[in-house]
DNA sequence: GCGACAG
DNA sequence: ATCTTGTCGC
């Protein structure tokens, strides 16, 4: 698919923060998409002691959740991991992976926060805005915000609150496991985000999209080894 | 000043 | 995230 070039990428934390404060106004927090046929999981892993960044995309059919296409991209790591600035470390390689994908996804499920971020611009927002695609933040742990205990029943959730603001939801996708931190990234409402995360989740804690992307991002084997890619 | 802190 | 062995539970 068509993706914008990475140019003027910030080199310092100060510049990155300034860019977040500028771009966060471009986030569309309401449903803005048509029929969903393909959902994609996005995940990033590292090789060579962190010197190489590896981004994986897994495109699945919806609602069947059958694997449709995968891709992996590798690039030198150029930004350190700083809480709140994760997207600057991972997005360049993710965009390279998206550029290789044949099937443009109708919805992205990103590993990390969306609006549930100190400046309301987590990686799901950043990627959604740059790729101009609906995106959801699916994080395995909390970055900011407080919440009440979440009932152990699958599908139950509690609002995630920060500074009297509802920034996301803490969702129980599976009983007796840690809940997921869901927040809108771009062109989707929080309610729809929760709905889609549930519809992409079967018997495991993580959505199928994320599970496939995780598997690819962790493997040192190229995608589609038995086919061509 | 002292913790907390997505991946 | 990554490193890294065995171990608890369905």
As a whole-number percent, the residues of chain A with pLDDT over 70 amount to 96
Rounded to the nearest 5 degrees, what angle is found at the Cα of A157, between the Cα atoms of A152 and A163?
Answer: 130
Helix (H) or strand (E) holding A1: none
Mean pLDDT, residues A5-23 taken together: 96
Instruction: Find the nucleotide nearest A181 (Cα to C1′).
Output: B6
pTM of the complete model: 0.94
State how far the Cα of A180 lies from the Cα of A164, in Å rounded to an integer.
Answer: 21
Output DSSP code: residue A118: T
**What would you measure as the largest C-alpha separation in chain A, in angstroms?**
52
- Residue A110 belongs to a domain with what CATH number? 3.30.2170.10
- Give pLDDT, residue A56: 97
The domain total for chain A is 1
A91 touches strand C (CB under 7 A): no
DSSP helix/strand/coil, A37: coil
Q: For residue A216, name the pLDDT band (cuts at 50, 70, 90).
A: confident
Q: Point out the residue nearest to C9 (C-alpha to C1').
A: A176
Residue A184 in this model has a pLDDT that exceeds 70? yes
- Give pLDDT, residue A222: 54
Residue A24 in domain? no
Residue A227 in this model has a pLDDT that exceeds 80? no
A229 touches strand C (CB under 7 A): no
Tokens, residue A108: 């992205």
Residue A3 in domain? no
pLDDT in tens, A46-101: 999 999 999 999 999 999 999 999 999 999 999 999 999 999 999 999 999 999 99
Judging by DSSP bridges, how do beta strands A180-186 and A135-139 pair with one another? antiparallel
A218 touches strand C (CB under 7 A): yes
Q: For residue A218, name the pLDDT band (cuts at 50, 70, 90).
A: confident
**A43 labelled ligand-binding:** yes
Structural domain including A131 reads 37-218
Q: For residue A207, name the pLDDT band (cuts at 50, 70, 90).
A: very high
Q: What is the mean pLDDT of chain A?
A: 94
Residue A225 in this model has a pLDDT that exceeds 50? no
Residue A150 in domain? yes
Q: For chain C, which bases have at least one atom within 7 A of a protein Cβ? A: 1-3
Rounded to the nearest 5 degrees, what angle is found at the Cα of A205, between the Cα atoms of A204 and A206?
Answer: 95
**Which residues 109-138 on A are within 7 A of strand C at the CB atom?**
111
Cβ within 7 A of any strand B atom: A 43-44, 81, 83-87, 111-113, 117, 122-123, 137, 139-143
Which of A76, A91, A77, A9 is closest to A43 using CA atoms? Answer: A91
Residue A183 in domain? yes
Residue A228 in this model has a pLDDT that exceeds 50? no
Which of A87, A93, A185 is closest to A137 using CA atoms? Answer: A185
Instruction: Find the nucleotide nearest A121 (Cα to C1′).
Output: B6
Instruction: Find the nucleotide nearest A45 (Cα to C1′).
Output: C1
State how far the Cα of A224 lies from the Cα of A229, in Å rounded to an integer.
Answer: 6
Q: For residue A229, name the pLDDT band (cuts at 50, 70, 90).
A: very low
A213 touches strand C (CB under 7 A): no
Residue A16 in domain? no
Residue A155 in domain? yes
Q: For chain B, which bases have at least one atom within 7 A of a protein Cβ? A: 5-7
């Amino acid at each position: 698919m068509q993706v914008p070039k990475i140019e003027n990428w910030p080199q310092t934390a100060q510049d990155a923060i300034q860019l977040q404060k500028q771009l966060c106004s471009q986030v569309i927090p309401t449903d803005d998409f048509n029929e969903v046929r393909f959902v994609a999981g996005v995940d990033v892993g590292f090789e060579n002691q962190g010197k190489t960044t590896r981004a994986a995309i897994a495109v699945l059919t919806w609602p069947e959740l059958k694997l449709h296409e995968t891709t992996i991209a590798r690039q030198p790591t150029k930004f350190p991991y700083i809480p709140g600035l994760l997207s600057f470390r991972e997005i360049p390689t993710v965009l390279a992976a998206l550029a290789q994908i044949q099937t443009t996804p109708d919805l992205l499920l990103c590993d990390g926060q969306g609006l549930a971020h100190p400046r309301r611009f987590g990686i799901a927002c950043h990627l959604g805005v740059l790729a101009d695609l609906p995106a959801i933040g699916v994080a395995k742990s909390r970055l900011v915000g407080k919440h009440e205990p979440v009932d152990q029943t699958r599908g139950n959730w509690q609002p995630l609150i920060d500074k009297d603001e509802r920034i996301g939801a803490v969702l129980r996708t599976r009983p007796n496991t840690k809940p997921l931190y869901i927040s809108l990234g771009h062109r989707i409402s929080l309610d729809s985000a929760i709905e889609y995360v549930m519809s992409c989740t079967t018997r495991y804690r993580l959505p199928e999209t994320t599970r496939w992307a995780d598997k690819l991002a962790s493997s040192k084997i190229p995608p589609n080894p038995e086919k061509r890619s």
